Structures are given as C-alpha cells and as structure tokens.
Chain A
C-alpha cells in the first residue's frame, strides 16, 4: 500500500513564497514616495509601451512589478473597481484603502489556492489634501498589506532601497528632493541602467490628479 507523500504545510508555503518572490523580484524595481507637492511614482522601465505605473482614479494611482501580464490584470481590475464605486456612490467615495483591501484578498487567494501564486508586488497610493493624509499601501506576493511607511519599494533590492529612503525621507520633501532620493533608491550599480517611468499624483489638483512626467524631477 502506498501513502501520499507527506509535505509539511510550512514547506509548501515556503516553496510558494520563494517561487513568487523570485518572480516578483526578477524585474526592475519601482518606488512610491509621498512628497510636499504630491505622491511621486517612479519605476525603472526599459519599455515605453508596457507601463508599470497607472492612473486608477482621481486621487489614486497604481504601481506594479513582476510578471507584466499578472500586474496588468490587477491594474485593469483596479480601474474597474474604482470606476464602479465612483459611479454607484460618488467620486469622493473612491479610496486607496478599499482597493488595497480588494487586491490583498485577491493576491492572498491566488497565493494559497491557485495552481501558481501571482509573481507580483503592487502598490496603491492616494494623494490627500496634506501630506499627513497621503496613503501608500504595499501589497506583497502573498497578499500581505502594509501602510506604515510614507513610501513603498517594489521588487529589485528592497533592503538597500528601504535604507536609502529611511535615511533621506522627511516630511515636506520637495518634488526635486524626492526625485533625487528616488534616483538613489533605484540606482542600478550592477547592470546597465534602464530609463525611468515617472508619474505624479499632484496635490490640490481638481479632478484627476495623475499625470505622467517625462523624467525624474
């Protein structure tokens, strides 16, 4: 008589986490930083057509790294989520928090239930009327959400990038200073540097606050 091979739960989770982490961190990184003039989003991106940063709603934006097809599907779902909410209630009732929760549930369900976990890391951010009311949510490949920091690092070498941001970030950072900080956080000493994809959720903007910038400020 044969018994099914016993694999401890910890081992299964660990294997899936290793797989998902490797996939999510294989690509180039992205960073989201709250600054005085708004929330700055930047990503190393060699492609000009396949975006990593996107508008979601008036004050809400998205950044994703990892497998493009997977975070692109999340991005589109996020736009649908936000547009449906804004249509059913009002434009002011769309928040990053709600979307971060929906993403976390979705990514977590895929992590444990799907044949293969999602190889992505995404961030949802929202610009407020002042810097204290900005929100930056980081959702990792297993569905863990965190919003303690006024910045988020996706993919790449997160430890070093976090260190740069922790040392350089302060409240009231100007856009130019935030750009400098991002440039250091996303430095690529080993391989050839890819161009930056940059976007800004501009503070005190009526209506849609998301705009793409041609380069890091």
Chain B
C-alpha cells in the first residue's frame, strides 16, 4: 500500500480531470480512438462505421409534463443488421434528480454514463453540495466535446438529459430537458425531444401527442406511443414487446427525484 501521490492533493473537483492526470489508462477515450484508427475500422461502413462492429443503442424520448419530466428509452441494441440485445437499458439515473439517456455505441455509452454519474457524485462529495442542473448539463457537454475525436471516427454517443431543477431561485418550470449533438452542443428544449436512429419518427409522434400541462400518466403514454411509432419505422428501435414482457425503461423525475416506472404499471397503459 503506497502513500497518496501529490496528484491526489492538487486542486479541482472534477473526477474526469483527476483521471486524465493520474490514471489516463482508466479513461480510455484517447486509447480507444487510436486503437480504432490503427486497425482501420474507420472507413467503409457508411455513416456509422462503428455500427458494424459494436452494438448500437437507439431511441430515447424525453418530455416535460405538469409536475416534472418523463424520459423513456427502448430496449434494443443492434450490430449492423442483427439484434445484439432485446433487453439493454439506455436510461439511467445520473443522480437523485437527473436522468440521462444515451443513443449510439452501447459500450461507450455505458462507460460515459458511469463516468458522468461519478463526476456528479464526486463534485457533490468534494464541494458538499450538488451541481446546479444547468451545471450538470454543461458538464455533460464538456465530456462529449472531449470525445469528439471518437465521434468523428464513427463511434458517436448522443445523450439526452432530463432533470428537476432544485435551485431556490428558479422561476421557470422545474422539470427541464436538454438535448445534445456529438460536438458537445447543448440545447435546452422547451417541451420534448428525442435522440437516436428513430428520433425523427418519435418526434413526429410527440408533436401530435404532447400536452404542456398534461399528467404524468398522459406523458408516459405519449412516450410509449412515440417509441412504438419509432419502432414501427426504424429497424434499430424496439417498441413495447408484450409477448416477451419487455417494456421500455421509463423514468419519472419530479420534486421527489428520480424514480423508474415499474413494468407492471407500464403494462396497464
């Protein structure tokens, strides 16, 4: 057992910055990028070259309602034309008041979620108070920007962030949704948004179904319908699979924080 090195005592409250300094091999972004370029997987497979080798995860929707936000993600992951998994989960709690959902390369997405969860927890422990919701959204943008090199090589991850704004000074609605692009652009959405290969169809569906002051039940129903519509037209998206009893992951974030809606409840909708 060795003493803590000077790097452990330098200033800063970001876990990712600490990793980059002290244990870059654990971060993996940069090494993954160089590995892929050296083995030549970057070309040849169209818009998403990584899609031929690594599982891709696909449609996430998020929408606000009267008392909070709903985020839902389908359960399908694909490798090229094949289904890699019917039960993958793409919507996660980032912390007690925030949900993050990811479309893109599954392996990188899951690592990004772990890092992001830890980044928020690390900040909260060091500072003694959680980041503001806007701060969380900006932090996610910065992480994406640091992965731009990977995204340009075809291994893109595009998240959605939904959260409950606990700031006492907040005057607008507290349930807020942020969408992103691969370059780290962060955009706050007023009502609803979607990401992933089926996003176009899901957005079209939500456009008709969205009610700004609707109930949680109505919002969940709209989210499920949007995912079903996306699954109808996009091979990468799985809808509600009643036969196998596989339901999308549906998260609700309101004043009480993050909660996942049970499958039994989704079955009744």
Contact = CB atoms under 8 A, between A and B. Distances in A.
Interface string B113-136: 011001001100110100000000
Contacts of A51: 128
Contacts of A106: 3-4
Contact of A84 (B2, B22, B121, B128): B22
Interface in B1-44: 1-4, 8-9, 15, 18-19, 22-23, 26
A136 to B, nearest CB: 18
Nearest to B115: A87
Interface size bucket, A side? 20 to 34
Contact of B9 (A73, A88, A101, A103): A73
A105 B4 CA distance: 8
Contact of A83 (B2, B9, B118): B118
A36 interface: no
B17 to A, nearest CB: 10
Contacts of A19: none
Contacts of A169: none
Nearest to B27: A87
Contacts of A77: 4, 8-9
A56 interface: yes
B20 to A, nearest CB: 12
A54 interface: yes
Contacts of A88: 23, 26
B4 to A, nearest CB: 5
Given A84-B18, A87-B114, A109 B122 contact: no
A59 to B, nearest CB: 14
A101 B15 contact: no
Contacts of B3: 102, 105-106, 108-109
A63 to B, nearest CB: 15
Contacts of A170: none
Contacts of B128: 51, 54
Nearest to A107: B3
A96 to B, nearest CB: 13
A7 to B, nearest CB: 26
Nearest to B2: A105
Contacts of B23: 84, 88
A105 B1 contact: yes
Given A55-B125, A76-B126, A81 B118 contact: no
27 contacts: A51-B128, A54-B125, A54-B128, A76-B126, A77-B8, A79-B125, A80-B18, A81-B8, A83-B125, A84-B18, A84-B22, A86-B118, A87-B15, A87-B26, A87-B114, A87-B118, A88-B23, A98-B1, A102-B2, A102-B3, A102-B4, A105-B1, A105-B2, A105-B4, A106-B3, A109-B3, A208-B121
Given A51-B128, A84-B19, A98-B1, 15 more contacts: A54-B128, A76-B8, A79-B125, A80-B8, A83-B15, A83-B118, A84-B22, A84-B23, A87-B26, A101-B1, A102-B1, A102-B3, A105-B4, A106-B4, A108-B3
Interface of B: 1-4, 8-9, 15, 18-19, 22-23, 26, 114-115, 118, 121-122, 125-126, 128
